Amino acid sequence: MKMSAIKEMSDAELKNTLNELTKESFNLKVQGKTGQLENSARVKAVKKDVARIKTEQTKRAAKPAGNR
């Protein structure tokens, strides 16, 4: 997921996407431990997407509400 797409999302969409990615991350970890993981690069991609979303949430929280 690109940062430009994340910036266009609303706060609610960011929260939902973060929740989905967190669940996916957990599932990928379980698959890795049980030997069922097919695409190990997806683990890294999900971690980066989570970090991007959290970064955007922090930026939005730091800005005044009327200046978004």
What's the pLDDT tens digit per position in 31-54?
A: 999 999 999 999 999 999 999 999
C-alpha separations of 40 from 12, 32, 61 in Å: 29, 8, 33
Environment class of residue 31 by beta-carbon count within 10 Å: exposed (0-12), middle (13-18) or buried (19+)? middle
pLDDT digits (tens, 9 = 90+) for 4-41: 999 999 999 999 999 999 999 999 999 999 999 999 99
Full-model pTM = 0.86
Which amino acid makes up residue 39? N
pLDDT of residue 63: 83
Name the residue ranges covered by the structural domains of the chain.
Answer: 3-62
State the fold for domain 3-62. Helix Hairpins (1.10.287)
pLDDT of residue 66: 65
Task: Report how far residue 37's alpha carbon sits from residue 8's, in angstroms, rounded to the nearest whole number.
Answer: 32
